[in-house]
């Protein structure tokens, strides 16, 4: 199993996603003799998972059922164990685009954290690129190495446990892009410049506070970066639902003209707005924004090495 190559069947040792619904799923490591408890009952790995195809519908012991999905960076972001605050798909998508990443790119990242962005970067630069990721916290760095190995991408990533602000990324003049998600990114701008290729490399810094952005931009100018710009991504979700609207009173003549030639006995006309005129309402499909939305996550500052 690999996060960058699709596998057809579930094997012992795979990481799979148990899908109970759009708002309910979780990862599971498939192992012989192991069972997983869900609200629909028990899933027995040996009998219910191993050897089955990804995407299969699995019946649990209580009669309910779930789908078993192949892991992807997007699904992993939604289900990974949180060791730190993570980046979500809204920010990840603009980061990969603005850093101009593609298969074969060399990327430096700090810090690794829970590995949400790391998995997306690895999938983007595969099969010939490489990710150099630096994590200050030793236990988090060791856990990241373990996950990359389990997910079949360890050959595409190098995890280093050190302070990037003091020791840099451990590479020089090879990176196409650098990403910073640390408390004081302005202290790592010099190391980022040293890691980037001679000309044209891109850098992105993620910071939750505007004061961090200000200091980072000043450091970027000091080190000769150009095209410095900051943006913020806000996600607003709409629900599609049926709503009832009252028909305006336009007079009897307008009502007669609007339904001229209408055959109410024809089954194909059932549900037509004309059938609801007597009730004074008509139903429409409408996109309605949620009352609550995900607000500020952080500021993304991009620049180019000239």
Give CB contacts under 8 A, 24+ apart, made by 250-255: none
Binding residues for S-adenosyl-L-methionine: 114-117, 135, 163, 181
SS (H, E, C) 23-71: CEEEEEECCCCCEEEECCEEEEHHHHHCCCECCCEEECCCCCEEEEECC
CA 241, 247, 249: angle at the middle one, nearest 5? 165
CA distances from 210 to 158, 199, 207, 217, 232 (A): 31, 28, 7, 10, 11
CA distances from 171 to 30, 106, 128, 174, 228 (A): 36, 11, 17, 7, 24
Beta-sheet strand order (sheet of 24-29) = 24-29, 15-21, 65-69, 57-59
Q: CA-CA distance, 75 to 26, in Å (whole number)?
A: 9
Binding residues: 114-117, 135, 163, 181
């Amino acid at each position: 199993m690999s996060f960058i190559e699709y596998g057809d069947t579930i094997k012992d040792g795979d990481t799979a996603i148990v899908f109970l619904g759009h708002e309910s799923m979780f990862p599971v490591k498939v192992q012989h003799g192991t069972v997983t408890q869900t609200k629909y009952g028990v899933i027995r790995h040996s009998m219910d998972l191993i050897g089955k195809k990804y995407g299969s519908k699995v019946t649990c012991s209580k009669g309910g059922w779930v789908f078993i999905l192949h892991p992807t960076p997007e699904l992993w972001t939604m289900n990974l164990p949180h060791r730190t605050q993570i980046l979500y798909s809204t920010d990840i998508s603009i980061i990969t685009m603005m850093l101009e990443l593609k298969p074969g790119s060399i990327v430096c990242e700090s810090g690794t954290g829970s590995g949400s962005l790391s998995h997306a970067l690895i999938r983007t630069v595969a099969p010939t690129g490489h990710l150099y990721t630096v994590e200050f916290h030793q236990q988090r760095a060791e856990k990241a190495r373990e996950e990359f190995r389990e997910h079949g991408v360890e050959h595409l990533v190098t995890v280093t446990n050190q302070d990037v602000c003091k020791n840099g990324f451990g590479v020089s003049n090879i990176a196409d892009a650098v990403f910073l998600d640390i408390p004081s990114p302005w202290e790592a701008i010099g190391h980022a410049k040293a890691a980037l290729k001679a000309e044209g490399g891109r850098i992105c810094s993620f910071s939750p506070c505007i004061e961090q952005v200000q200091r980072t931009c000043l450091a970027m100018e000091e080190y000769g970066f150009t095209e410095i710009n900051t943006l913020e991504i806000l996600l607003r979700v709409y629900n599609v639902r049926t709503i009832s609207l009252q028909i305006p009173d336009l007079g009897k003549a307008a009502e007669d003209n609007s339904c001229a030639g209408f055959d109410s006995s024809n089954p194909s006309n059932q549900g037509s707005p004309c059938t609801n005129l007597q009730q004074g309402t008509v139903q429409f499909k409408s996109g309605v924004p949620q009352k609550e939305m995900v607000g500020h996550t952080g500021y993304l500052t991009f620049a180019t090495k000239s």
